[in-house]
């Protein structure tokens, strides 16, 4: 039962099984109209971020001040108008997309790697280790996420790196819980036991067998968390603790434009919509993925 | 199950009713004998010697008296002082009015005066104000003698500062720590709800019948956001807005039930460099930055165009004023940076506070970027900002400073080496500046003084510790029904006289 | 459970805040201070003691209701928090009340009329609601209802009218997620056997829903309310900033700008404590609604 050949064979079937499973998910996801809208939207934002230099010049349009053209309403030359310094709001939003997606993805990666490791260890070993890790996470969970992030940035100082660390750390407990639950759900299955029986080491088992088979909920959770990390980034920037001027970021654009809402409301309209659309598209995808992975609910 | 749900929703309903009932009580109409004034930031302290900012000063001026005060033309007039004489150039004998009562009913004596002035010289936030004072002695119950370190012509000007308020000795030594301050002013303390409001009530036993409080109650409302202040004025939630945002001037002018008060200020707004810190210890760098800043853009953004460019460290109306040599010239700036040994620029930070100054700092940041200097902006809450600046924590800063009418009263605090740690924002320590200042305050002939200050302007702009930015107006918006609204070059003045 | 978690929270926050660069004593005294004076003050403040000793001292003071004095105003931190807390309480409780009031009926109707127009619109709105950053929603509500229509004040705290916009702003996100939870748990319950049995017995549809389904469906909704409360407290920081609402959230942001460490510490602790207490209450409620579950915390 435990010859090397059988394991290779087993692995092989597992892989094909996994592939076809994700193919199924993709087929189901394609059927969901809302998820497709989300995918298209996020694709647009990704393109904006990627091709930003072809759309507008960073130095000239996004940072360059031109007080003669300040506070202009949206027009053909300035699609979303200009801000209080005469900078083109559209250009700033385009470059803001880069920051938001970057910070969102990196901070979730931080949370996923740290939280995921903790969760996997807790779930896999169980017992005292599990208990100890979960108690520590209880403490982190007792502080509302955004407040934890604010506290960390307040202590470390406002910079893009500290922002990512703060948002990342504050999301650790969530990821730990999700990964732990997934690990728990697969760890007693036969193929894990057989892997253990052939003497595979723990971290090999976790990395090669447990995690790949418990990916589904983690992917869903990570998608939703990128959305909330983007929201957190703009929130922190709005209160002056996130991305600092002159770097364009949606939250700090809103903070700057706030004084002008009475006569120039467009100034806060488009940065806000950019946040809503990005977050919404990720939420739509996350929801769609969840339904596609767990067909029984729909 | 259903019963439990009903019970739960009842609890919810009850809880919310309680909340809303609580809300209602606060919604009472404010009678017309009470006025409220919008402030852009909360006060930092009720202790008159525990702050040095204009918001807290508004409140301190109503709760306390000083020996002298300024009138709206910025002349020194007696407040608590009854009479004074100068037996020698260094000695000032001041007699206070008899029968001045503190809010707790005790009478003010020369002991309180001595205690207060001594305390003022020790309290970190205001100790620079009386730095010229050598000693304060009690002569009799109502008379004190103040000895200064040297002959000091504008001495009385220092006694108008809020930090020289006379506080009751017995109270100040108690454990209350100015939580509910006792003063002698036209208004008594009612409450300070931090972040929201300060409430004062009229002092019916005020000693000065001519300057009695006119409204029964004055509430200072903290409304940090500019637009919200204007709206609060329009809806009648407040009666006076102290710092009207320039973009709303037109709205107040156009509204029939509102009045706009404007007065040219002596307020100069500047960018100051900490000359103790690298690279600002290099005069070429400071001169370079003077060429780098686009003041027109700053006026357009920060003041919506309503301001005058500043070319030296005081407003042009001052005695001996002379323009500096700089104009907006990024190329010249770059050339100077190369000469200074910074061909690739450098990194620095600008410290400031408040929306308007943040916008100024952002333009400066963009201007500096054009010459290769990377600036970051550090925003602090107002009180902390002033505090950090007095401690010299900043590398550079954006600030506005209202000058007193005599050039010495502004130039000495800001450029004299002895005031490093006080208001010498650039922390400049230059023997020639010091000696010019000394000469200016000792010279009695007007033409002679003008010449000295002219030389001072030329020299200080050459040393370039500041980039002067602009001089602005004071804009106050008030309900048209209000009487007694007065402005001094420092903004809203004699608040006790405002009433319906 | 509450007490060890809170001890952990306070330690964690204490630790994070202690990472703040710069020496507290020279912060207070300034550059000009003499070495002796700084050493003296460091000694007075016990800044050279190990962190754990400082923590112990802080806890000891905290138990007696003393949270230290503010660096910037010198006033007692506890006093300030006591003064401001009722305002945050008023805001968050009104918001949670509003969202429960709106979300439960919508969730129930959506579930009973799954895939109807009402359901579809409701769910899309809920997703959009989750995706809107509260500070932006607040600005938009100010533009519409305060600046244009003039129905409510744009900020400050004066009477019941000033509570409306901030409470709604704060309520939007939690309304959206409670609606979604109610709907999905309602859907799950409706499909269960005993509901079909009841239907088969001829019990009217309305009765089935109110008497049998709703109670069971509410259990997950109640849990979500507890979790939402944490998000709500975090949201209060931003909402209070947008509406100049003098609560703990704004106090915290101001204190960060003041570098007022003891005050920031106090605010985070009080937020976390409220969050934990709310979850304790939710657990008790849980046991009350569903006697099968024993409260975890007791």
Residues A115 and A179: beta-carbon distance below 8 Å: yes
CA B493 to the chain's CA centroid: 12
Calpha distance A174→A70 (Å, rounded): 44
- Nearest-CA neighbor of B185 among B31, B46, B30? B46
Over range C267-281, report the average pLDDT: 89
Domain extents in chain B: 41-172, 195-264+475-497, 265-473
Q: For residue C241, list chain A residues with Cβ-Cβ distance below 8 A.
A: 238-239
Calpha distance B113→B65 (Å, rounded): 11
With 0-12 / 13-18 / 19 or more C-beta atoms within 10 angstroms meaning exposed / middle / buried, residue B328 is middle
Calpha distance A138→C262 (Å, rounded): 24
The pTM for the full model equals: 0.84
Q: Is B8 on the interface with C (CB under 8 A)?
A: yes
Q: For residue B49, list chain C residues with Cβ-Cβ distance below 8 A.
A: none
ipTM above 0.95, yes or no: no
CATH code for the domain defined by C85-297:
1.10.3720.10
Calpha distance B190→B46 (Å, rounded): 12
What pLDDT is attached to residue B375?
Answer: 94
Which tokens belong to B91? 């000695």
Q: Is B228 on the interface with A (CB under 8 A)?
A: no
Calpha distance C260→C240 (Å, rounded): 19
What pLDDT is attached to residue B12?
Answer: 54
Which tokens belong to B334? 């770059």
Lowest mean pLDDT, pick from A80-84, B62-66, C110-114, C188-192: C188-192
Q: For residue B369, list chain A residues with Cβ-Cβ distance below 8 A.
A: 63, 246
Which tokens belong to C9? 């929270």
pLDDT exceeds 80 at position C40: no
Rounded percentage of chain C residues whose pLDDT exceeds 90? 25
| Rg of chain B over all Cα atoms, to the nearest angstrom | 25
Beta-carbon separation of A261 and C128 below 8 A:
no
What does the H/E/C string look like for chain A?
CCCHHHHHHHHHHHHHHHHHHHHHHHHHHHHCHHHHHHHHHHHHHHHHHHCHHHHCCHHHHHHCCCHHHCCCCCCCCCCCCECCCCCEHHHHHHHHHHHHHHHHHHHHHHHHHHHHHHHHHHHHHCHHHHHHHHHHHHHHHCCCHHHHHHHHHHHHCCCHHHHHHHHHHHCHHHHHHHHHHHHHHHHCCHHHHHHHHCCCCHHHHHHHHHHHHCHHHHHHHHHHHHHHHHHHHHHHHHCCCCCCCCCCCHHHHHHHHHHHCCCCCHHHHHHHHHHHHHHHHHHHHHHHHHHHHCHHHC
- B 145-184 near A (Cβ less than 8 A): none
Quickly state the pLDDT bin for C39 (edges 50, 70, 90): confident
pLDDT of C214-257, one tens digit each? 777 777 777 788 888 888 888 899 999 999 898 999 999 988 88
pLDDT exceeds 70 at position B227: yes
Give the residue on A whose Cα is nearest the Cα of C235: A146
From the list A138, A143, A235, the residue facing C238 with the nearest CB is A235
Distance from CA of A263 to the nearest CA of B (A): 9
* Mean pLDDT estimate for chain A: 87
Helix (H, G, I), strand (E, B), or coil: what is residue C69? strand
* Mean pLDDT estimate for chain C: 83
Residues C27 and C6: beta-carbon distance below 8 Å: no
Give the alpha-carbon dihedral of B73, B74, B78, B83, to 10 degrees.
Answer: -100
Half-sphere exposure for B359 (CA within 13 Å, toward CB): 25
Beta-carbon separation of C259 and B15 below 8 A:
no
Beta-carbon separation of B366 and A263 below 8 A:
no
B268: left (phi over 0), alpha (psi -120 to 50) or beta: beta
Tell me the CA distances in angstroms from A168 to A96, A121, A188, one per residue in order: 20, 19, 30
Beta-carbon separation of B355 and A262 below 8 A:
no
Residue whose structure tokens are 């320590």 = B429
What pLDDT is attached to residue B18?
Answer: 47
pLDDT of B376-387, one tens digit each? 999 887 777 877
Calpha distance C223→C226 (Å, rounded): 5
Beta-carbon separation of C215 and B1 below 8 A:
yes
From the list A63, A84, A260, the residue facing B366 with the nearest CB is A63
Q: For residue C80, list chain B residues with Cβ-Cβ distance below 8 A.
A: 194
Lowest mean pLDDT, pick from B26-30, B396-400, C213-217: B26-30
Q: For residue B177, list chain C residues with Cβ-Cβ distance below 8 A.
A: 74
Most confident of A268-277, B176-185, C28-37, C100-109: A268-277
**DSSP-assigned letter for residue C147:** I
Give the residue on C whose Cα is nearest the Cα of B422: C32
Q: Which residues touch C31 (CB under 8 Å, ≥6 apart)? A: B391, B392, B393, B421
- The more confident residue out of A126 and B184 is B184
Calpha distance A80→A85 (Å, rounded): 14
* Mean pLDDT estimate for chain B: 87
Helix (H, G, I), strand (E, B), or coil: what is residue C152? coil
Helix (H, G, I), strand (E, B), or coil: what is residue C204? coil
Q: Mutation test of the interface with chain A: which of B223, B349, B359, choosing the one with the most A Cβ atoms within 10 A?
A: B359
Which tokens belong to A272? 């806000």
pLDDT of B281-305, one tens digit each? 999 999 999 999 999 999 988 888 8
- Out of 3.40.50.300, 3.10.105.10, 3.90.1150.10, 3.40.50.460, the CATH code matching B265-473 is 3.10.105.10
Q: Which residues touch C95 (CB under 8 Å, ≥6 apart)? A: C166, C167, C168, C170, C171, C174, C232
- Nearest-CA neighbor of A166 among A225, A218, A232, A116? A232
From the list A84, A240, A262, the residue facing B359 with the nearest CB is A84
Q: Is A126 on the interface with C (CB under 8 A)?
A: no
Q: Please name the chains neighbouring B, where neighbouring means 3+ C-beta pairs under 8 angstroms.
A: A, C
Which tokens belong to B477? 């918006």
Q: For residue A244, list chain B residues with Cβ-Cβ distance below 8 A.
A: 376-377
What count of residues does chain A have?
Answer: 298
Rounded percentage of chain A residues whose pLDDT exceeds 90? 49
Q: For residue B359, list chain A residues with Cβ-Cβ distance below 8 A.
A: 84-85, 256
Calpha distance B475→B315 (Å, rounded): 17
What does the H/E/C string look like for chain B?
CHHHHHHHHHHHHHHHHHHHHHHHHHCCCCCCCEEEEEECCCCCCCCCCCCCCHHHHHHHHHHCCCCEEECCCCCEEECCEEEEEEEECCEEEEEECCCCECCCCCECCHHHHHHHHHHHHHCCCCCCCCCCEEEEEEEECCEEEEEECCCCCCHHHHCCCHHHCCCCHHHHCCCCCCCCCCCCCCEEEEEEECCCEEEEEECCCCCCHHHCCCCCEEEEEECCCHHHHHHHHHCCCCCEECCCCHHHHHHHHHCCCEEEEEEEEEEEEEEEECCCCCCCCCHHHHHHHHHHCCHHHHHHHHCCCCEEECCCCCCCCCCCCCCCCCCCCHHHHHHHHHHHCCCCCCEEEEEECCHHHHHHHHHHHHHHHHCCCEEEEEECCHHHHHHHHHCCCCCEEEEEEECCCCHHHHHHHHHCHHHCCCCCCCCCCCHHHHHHHHHHHHCCCHHHHHHHHHHHHHHHHHHCCEEEEEEEEEEEEEECCCECCEEECCEEECHHHCEC
Beta-carbon separation of C163 and B1 below 8 A:
no
- The more confident residue out of A212 and C9 is C9
Domain B41-172 class, CATH top level: alpha beta
Asked if the bond preceding A246 is cis, omega within 30° of 0, the reply is: yes
Q: Mutation test of the interface with chain A: which of B293, B347, B366, B385, choosing the one with the most A Cβ atoms within 10 A?
A: B366
What pLDDT is attached to residue A270?
Answer: 93
Straight-line distance from the first to the last Cα atom of chain A, in angstroms, rounded to the nearest whole number: 40
Rounded percentage of chain B residues whose pLDDT exceeds 90? 53
CATH code for the domain defined by B195-264+475-497:
3.40.190.10
pLDDT exceeds 80 at position A5: no
Q: Is A287 on the interface with C (CB under 8 A)?
A: yes
Domain extents in chain C: 2-63, 85-297
Domains annotated for chain A, with CATH where assigned, are 98-297 (1.10.3720.10)
- C 26-65 near A (Cβ less than 8 A): none
Q: Mutation test of the interface with chain A: which of C5, C155, C256, choosing the one with the most A Cβ atoms within 10 A?
A: C256
pLDDT of B126-163, one tens digit each? 777 787 899 999 999 999 999 988 877 778 888 988 99
pLDDT of B305-364, one tens digit each? 878 899 999 888 788 888 889 999 999 999 999 999 999 999 999 999 888 899 999 999
Residues B121 and B127: beta-carbon distance below 8 Å: yes
pLDDT of C158-209, one tens digit each? 788 889 999 999 999 889 988 988 888 888 887 776 767 777 777 777 777 7
- The more confident residue out of B370 and A199 is B370
Over range B424-440, report the average pLDDT: 92
């Amino acid at each position: 039962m435990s010859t090397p050949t059988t394991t290779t064979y087993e692995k092989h079937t597992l892989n094909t099984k996994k592939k076809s499973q994700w193919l199924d998910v993709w087929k189901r996801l394609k059927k969901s109209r809302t998820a497709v809208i989300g995918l298209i939207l996020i694709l647009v934002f990704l393109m904006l971020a990627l091709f930003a230099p072809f759309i507008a010049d960073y130095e000239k349009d996004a940072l360059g001040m031109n007080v003669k053209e300040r506070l202009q309403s949206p027009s053909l030359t300035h699609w979303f108008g200009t801000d209080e310094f005469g900078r083109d709001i559209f250009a700033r939003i385009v470059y803001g997309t880069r920051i938001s997606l970057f910070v969102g993805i990196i901070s979730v990666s931080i949370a996923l790697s740290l939280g995921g490791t903790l969760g996997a260890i807790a779930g896999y070993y169980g017992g005292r280790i599990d208990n100890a890790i979960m108690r520590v996470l209880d403490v982190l969970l007792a502080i509302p996420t955004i407040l934890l992030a604010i506290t960390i940035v307040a202590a470390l100082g406002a910079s893009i790196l500290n922002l990512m660390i703060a948002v990342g750390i504050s999301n650790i407990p969530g990821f730990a819980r999700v990964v732990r639950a997934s690990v728990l759900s697969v760890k007693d299955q036969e193929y894990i036991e057989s892997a253990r029986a052939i003497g595979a080491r723990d971290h090999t088992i976790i990395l090669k067998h447990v995690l790949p088979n418990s990916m589904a909920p983690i992917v869903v959770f990570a998608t939703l968390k990128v959305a909330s990390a983007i929201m957190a980034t703009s929130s922190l920037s709005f209160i002056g603790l996130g991305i600092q001027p002159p770097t364009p970021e949606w939250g700090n654009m809103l903070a700057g434009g706030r004084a002008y809402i009475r006569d120039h409301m467009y100034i806060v309209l488009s940065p806000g919509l950019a946040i809503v659309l990005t977050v919404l598209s990720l939420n739509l995808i996350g929801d769609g993925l969840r339904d596609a992975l767990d067909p029984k609910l729909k | 199950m259903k019963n439990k749900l009903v019970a739960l929703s009842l609890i919810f309903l009850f809880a919310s009713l309680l909340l809303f009932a609580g809300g209602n009580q606060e919604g009472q109409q404010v009678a017309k004998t009470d006025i409220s004034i919008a402030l852009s930031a909360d006060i930092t302290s009720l202790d008159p010697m525990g702050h040095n900012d204009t918001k807290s000063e508004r409140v301190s001026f109503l709760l306390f008296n000083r020996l002298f005060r300024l009138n709206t033309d910025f002349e020194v007039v007696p407040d608590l002082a009854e009479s004074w004489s100068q037996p020698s150039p260094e000695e000032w004998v001041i007699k206070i009015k008899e029968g001045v009562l503190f809010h707790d009913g005790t009478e003010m004596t020369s002991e309180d005066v001595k205690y207060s002035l001594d305390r003022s010289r020790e309290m970190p936030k205001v100790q620079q104000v009386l730095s010229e004072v050598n000693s304060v002695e009690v002569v009799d119950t109502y008379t004190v003698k103040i000895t200064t370190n040297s002959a000091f012509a504008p001495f009385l000007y220092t006694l108008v500062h809020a930090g020289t308020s006379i506080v009751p000795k017995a109270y100040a030594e108690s454990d209350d720590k100015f939580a509910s301050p006792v003063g002698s002013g036209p208004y008594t303390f009612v409450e300070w709800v931090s972040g929201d409001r300060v409430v004062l009530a009229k002092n019916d036993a005020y000693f000065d019948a001519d300057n009695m409080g006119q409204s029964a109650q004055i509430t200072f409302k903290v409304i940090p956001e500019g637009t919200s202040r204007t709206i609060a004025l329009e809806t009648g939630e407040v009666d006076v807005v102290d710092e009207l945002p320039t973009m709303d001037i037109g709205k107040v002018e156009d509204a029939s039930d509102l009045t706009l008060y404007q007065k040219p200020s002596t307020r100069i707004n500047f960018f100051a460099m900490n000359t103790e810190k690298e690279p600002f210890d290099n005069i070429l760098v400071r001169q370079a930055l003077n060429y780098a800043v686009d003041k027109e853009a700053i006026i357009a953004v920060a003041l919506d165009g309503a301001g005058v460019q500043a070319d030296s460290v005081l407003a042009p109306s001052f005695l001996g004023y002379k323009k500096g040599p700089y104009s907006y010239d990024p190329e010249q700036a770059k050339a100077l940076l190369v000469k200074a040994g910074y061909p690739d620029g450098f990194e620095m930070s600008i410290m400031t506070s408040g929306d308007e100054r943040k916008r100024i700092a952002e333009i400066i940041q963009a201007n500096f970027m054009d010459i290769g200097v990377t600036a970051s902006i550090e925003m602090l809450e107002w009180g902390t900002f002033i505090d950090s600046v007095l401690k010299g924590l900043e590398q550079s800063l954006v600030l506005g400073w209202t000058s007193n009418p005599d050039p010495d009263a502004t130039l000495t605090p800001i450029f004299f080496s002895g005031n490093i740690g006080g208001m010498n924002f650039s922390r400049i320590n230059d023997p020639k500046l010091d000696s010019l200042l000394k000469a200016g305050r000792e010279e009695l002939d007007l033409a002679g003084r003008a010449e000295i200050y002219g030389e001072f302007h030329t020299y200080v702009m050459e040393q370039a510790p500041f980039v002067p930015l602009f001089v602005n107006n004071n804009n106050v918006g008030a309900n048209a029904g209000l009487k007694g609204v007065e402005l001094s070059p420092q903004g809203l003045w004699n608040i006790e006289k405002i009433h319906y | 459970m509450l007490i060890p978690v809170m001890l952990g929270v306070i330690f964690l926050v204490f630790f994070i805040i202690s990472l703040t660069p710069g020496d507290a004593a020279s912060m207070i005294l300034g550059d000009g201070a003499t070495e002796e004076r700084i050493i003296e003050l460091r000694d007075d403040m016990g800044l050279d003691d190990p962190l754990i000793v400082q923590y112990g001292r802080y806890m000891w003071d905290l138990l007696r209701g003393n949270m230290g004095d503010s660096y910037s105003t010198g006033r007692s931190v506890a006093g300030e928090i006591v003064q401001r807390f009722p305002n945050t309480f008023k805001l968050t409780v009104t918001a949670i009340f509003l969202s429960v009031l709106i979300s439960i009926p919508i969730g129930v109707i959506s579930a009973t009329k799954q895939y109807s127009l009402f359901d579809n619109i409701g769910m899309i709105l809920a997703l959009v609601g989750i995706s809107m950053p509260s500070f932006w929603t607040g600005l938009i509500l100010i533009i519409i209802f305060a600046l244009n229509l003039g129905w409510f004040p744009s900020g400050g705290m004066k009477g019941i009218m000033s509570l409306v916009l901030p409470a709604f702003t704060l309520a939007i996100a939690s309304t959206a997620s409670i609606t979604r939870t109610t709907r999905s748990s309602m859907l799950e319950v409706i499909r269960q056997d005993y509901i079909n049995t009841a239907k088969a017995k001829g019990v009217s549809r309305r009765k089935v829903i109110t008497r049998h389904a709703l109670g069971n469906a509410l259990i997950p909704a109640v849990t979500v309310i507890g979790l939402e409360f944490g998000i709500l407290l975090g949201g209060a920081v931003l909402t209070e900033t947008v509406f100049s609402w003098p609560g703990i959230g704004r106090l915290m942001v101001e204190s960060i700008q003041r570098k007022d460490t003891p005050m920031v510490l106090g605010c985070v602790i009080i937020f976390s404590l409220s969050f934990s207490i709310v979850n304790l209450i939710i657990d008790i409620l849980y046991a009350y609604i569903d006697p099968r579950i024993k409260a975890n915390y007791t």
